[in-house]
Structure 1
Amino acid sequence: MKVAVLLLFSWAFSAHGADVYVHMMPWFETKESNSGQWGIHWTMANRNPDNVVDGKQDIASFYHPEIGAYASGDPDVVDWQLGAMKTAGIKGAFIDWPGTTEAFDYPKNKENAEAIIDGTVRAGLQFAVVYEDNNLNLAGVGDKIAQGTADMQYVQSNYFSKGNYVQLDGAPLLLDFGPQALYDDNWDQIFSPLDPKPTFLTLWNQNQQGGSFVKGEYAWVYSNYLDGLNNWYNFQEVPIKVGVAYPGFNSFYEQGGWPGPGFTIEFGTDTFQATFDLALANTDVIQICTWNDYGEGTIIEPTLEFGTQFLDIIQAATGTQYTHADFDEVTEIFLLRKQHANNATMLGHLAQRYHNLVHKFD
């Protein structure tokens, strides 16, 4: 079933009537941002980005960011990422959100997520959060209901009230990557203090575990590829569906020394076009999976291997007035910011240039 998205404000065009968002990871760190150590999502168990192999950093991925391994909280990186989204005609980011648990790298991920949220305002984009309830399991949280309630109250107080937070079906949109730790009436308990209640979506085929407030599901990448997507679009009866498009699935987990999924879906523009077209035919809201999950190999942001090929497809579909040359300008602004990092006058000029670029068609 198709649903209309109610937006507080809108800056980007839609692809054939659909609103296009991207799932974004905020968990990357460099030595400069992480007390002299590369973050684990660049290294996994056995990689070192300080090493260069065949002209590319030795990161835990088959693909390499066009700008090099980066820190997710770096405002220059954020503007490069969100500027590329804006000039592709993407409406905003669904940000993978770790919760407020003080464990592992979760606090840093949350800090980075909020740097990205700040960047959405600069770029004129929307955002919503995708809650990682499995982090409650991974962190060994004893009272999951209490921590989940604290997480939801934080989301309501700090995100839902923002003018560029995505509104779906008349309420703030909240997605959960699961459920994996909270089930059934657990959600009723943690949503009880919230007013209004969010439009709550679980992963596909899991809405039965989402409690009484669940409104629907969102699709994701899985080994059954188009068969699974067609079955979900055609036969899963839920009020709200958010479709998915992705470029493939080429996990580096085994090579990186981590446990993880073992299936592969061919990575490239053919896979992306097929899943994008299928989503356009079936839903009004599409989440691209993902902007930058390098470990699982589902990236659409510009890379050394594929450049802007995935963004070119989105740009053509959205009908935006931006062109391919605008992608180049976004990257040029990023590089100039790094080159002139100690020149306040130049940085002010570049900030204005970025603003003019991302808002020129608003």
Structure 2
Amino acid sequence: MRSLIFLSFLLLFQTLPLHGAEIYVHMMPWFETKETNNGTWGQHWTMANRNPDNIVDGVPEIASFYHPEIGPYASGDPDVIDWQLGHMKAAGISGIFLDWPGTTDAYDYAKNKENAEAIIEGTKRAGLKFAVVYEDNNLNLAAVPDKIAQGQADMEYLQSNYFTEDNYLKVKDAPLLLDFGPQALHDAEWDEVLEPLDPKATFVTLWNQGQQAGNYVQGEFAWVWADFVDTLIVWYANRNVSVKIGVAYPGFHPFYGEGGWPGPMFYIEYGVPAFNTTWQMALNNTDIIQICTWNDYGEGTIIEPTLEYGTQFLDIIQEYTGSKYTSDDFRKLTDIYFMKKKYADDPVMLKLLRDKHHALVHKFDELT
């Protein structure tokens, strides 16, 4: 109760910027279908005990309380990517912060990296920006024997393949690099890992962890946590870092317990109220906002269109950004997606549909 009272006070005496913040969404590239995963559904749809081939209460049985509007998908499918990024463009979102597994060849990391690169190609088609969120914990999970050497190899790959892209996001005149940690690398180890970069990236860690990331760190990004707004209030008001990236999210409704996986089990009621609260706080306190997440179905933080919530979260973003697109454009994007799948074997129809999608996504470009 005290947090909510303080939050009301905080919001009352701060001025909401008018269409000033840049909005990005944290995006997962790790979903697979039977067609893309050697005849079995990817683990992020199944966890330990779900099977999307089973229809329960009219929807596929996936490891989530929420269901994609277009059904369980493959992250590397260009039609899926265009549907996702088209919705972002129509909402006025600037781009994506892409969860990136590194170049370690373990588990499903190589496929995730392949999907990530398909998504990056999609950002070019849509006219969106992107930056990478490095998962340094994968060095732990893959039991990498020389974490510093592998970290350096990952940085060199980023510099050679991503940072040079015209649509890679730059902050403070350098490529923005976020790390979901530190978890595997700490302190001076980060200095060694980042040393090969030229120019140095604008390096940003998870909130309240910048002091563990060596001398090159320049900021932090906020995330969802069990106490909802309490830590956010303190972090926004008191954390003195050069680059501060705020967060908005619709709640936290994890499926780990039901799905038989380990993971955080706290609960924040999912829906528009939680999104509005964190959204307004972020707008009032930061110039760059990361929405967590676009599509983490396992943790229940999704804002992409679902059967349960439609485009409610995108509608809020669209209103703030003053996007010239409308909710009807969201519907058209989904209609085009389903038509592409219907006519997947008809190259003439596919070209017409792709042209139609392109025209829709870019119809206001000349006005911006």
Q: Paired residue for 1:253, among 251, 256, 265?
A: 256
Aligned to 1:3: none
Gaps of 5+ in 2: 1-16
Per-residue Cα deviation, 1:127-166 (whole angstroms, up to 9, x for no partner): 0010000000000000000000000000000000000000
Gaps of 5+ in 1: 1-13
The answer to whether the aligner puts 1:52 opposite 2:55 as a matched pair is yes
CA contact (8 A) 1:76 1:337 kept: yes
Aligned to 2:363: 360
Describe how 1:262-341 pairs up with structure 2 within 5 A. Answer: 262-341=265-344
Q: Tell me, what secondary structure is at the counterpart of 2:290?
A: strand
Q: Paired residue for 2:30, among 27, 34, 38?
A: 27
Q: Paired residue for 2:196, among 193, 207, 211?
A: 193
Distance in 2 (alpha carbons) for counterparts of 1:251 and 1:229 = 20
Q: Paired residue for 2:175, among 157, 172, 176?
A: 172
The answer to whether the aligner puts 1:81 opposite 2:113 as a matched pair is no
Aligned to 2:44: 41
Distance in 2 (alpha carbons) for counterparts of 1:358 and 1:168 = 26
Q: Tell me, what secondary structure is at the counterpart of 1:264?
A: coil
Describe how 1:90-239 pairs up with structure 2 within 5 A. Answer: 90-239=93-242
Aligned to 2:13: none
The amino acid across from 2:198 in the alignment is D
Distance in 1 (alpha carbons) for counterparts of 2:351 and 2:46 = 34
Tell me: CA distance 1:15–1:221, structure 2 relative to 1, closer, same or farther (3 Å).
Answer: farther
Aligned to 1:16: 19
Aligned to 1:11: none
Tell me: CA distance 1:15–1:63, structure 2 relative to 1, closer, same or farther (3 Å).
Answer: farther
Backbone CA RMSD of aligned residues? 0.8
% identity of equivalent residues: 68
The amino acid across from 1:98 in the alignment is P
Distance in 2 (alpha carbons) for counterparts of 1:196 and 1:346 = 46
Distance in 2 (alpha carbons) for counterparts of 1:28 and 1:357 = 26
Q: Paired residue for 1:63, among 61, 66, 69?
A: 66
Q: Tell me, what secondary structure is at the counterpart of 1:29?
A: coil
Distance in 1 (alpha carbons) for counterparts of 2:71 and 2:265 = 26
Aligned to 1:243: 246
Alpha-carbon distance, 1:16 to partner: 2.5
The count of aligned residue pairs is: 349
Alpha-carbon distance, 1:176 to partner: 0.2
Alpha-carbon distance, 1:210 to partner: 1.1
Distance in 2 (alpha carbons) for counterparts of 1:257 and 1:77 = 28
Q: Tell me, what secondary structure is at the counterpart of 2:229?
A: helix
Distance in 1 (alpha carbons) for counterparts of 2:90 and 2:19 = 17
Distance in 1 (alpha carbons) for counterparts of 2:341 and 2:199 = 42
CA contact (8 A) 1:246 1:276 kept: yes
CA contact (8 A) 1:16 1:280 kept: no
Describe how 1:341-356 pairs up with structure 2 within 5 A. Answer: 341-356=344-359
Distance in 1 (alpha carbons) for counterparts of 2:169 and 2:290 = 13
The amino acid across from 2:283 in the alignment is L
Distance in 1 (alpha carbons) for counterparts of 2:98 and 2:70 = 21
Alpha-carbon distance, 1:15 to partner: 6.3
CA contact (8 A) 1:15 1:280 kept: no
Per-residue Cα deviation, 1:282-320 (whole angstroms, up to 9, x for no partner): 000000000000000000000000000000000001111
Distance in 2 (alpha carbons) for counterparts of 1:153 and 1:234 = 36
Deviating beyond 6 angstroms after TM superposition, the runs of 4 or more aligned structure 1 residues are none
Q: Tell me, what secondary structure is at the counterpart of 1:286?
A: strand
Distance in 1 (alpha carbons) for counterparts of 2:57 and 2:227 = 34
Per-residue Cα deviation, 1:201-246 (whole angstroms, up to 9, x for no partner): 0000000011101000000000111111111000111111000000
Q: Which moved more, 1:184-193 or 1:47-56?
A: 184-193
Tell me: CA distance 1:45–1:15, structure 2 relative to 1, closer, same or farther (3 Å).
Answer: farther
Q: Tell me, what secondary structure is at the counterpart of 1:265?
A: coil
Alpha-carbon distance, 1:185 to partner: 1.1
The amino acid across from 2:222 in the alignment is A
The amino acid across from 2:63 in the alignment is A
Alpha-carbon distance, 1:262 to partner: 1.4
Distance in 2 (alpha carbons) for counterparts of 1:260 and 1:97 = 19
Per-residue Cα deviation, 1:73-115 (whole angstroms, up to 9, x for no partner): 0000000000000000000010000000000000000000000
CA contact (8 A) 1:15 1:319 kept: no
Q: Tell me, what secondary structure is at the counterpart of 1:94?
A: strand
Distance in 2 (alpha carbons) for counterparts of 1:280 and 1:122 = 28
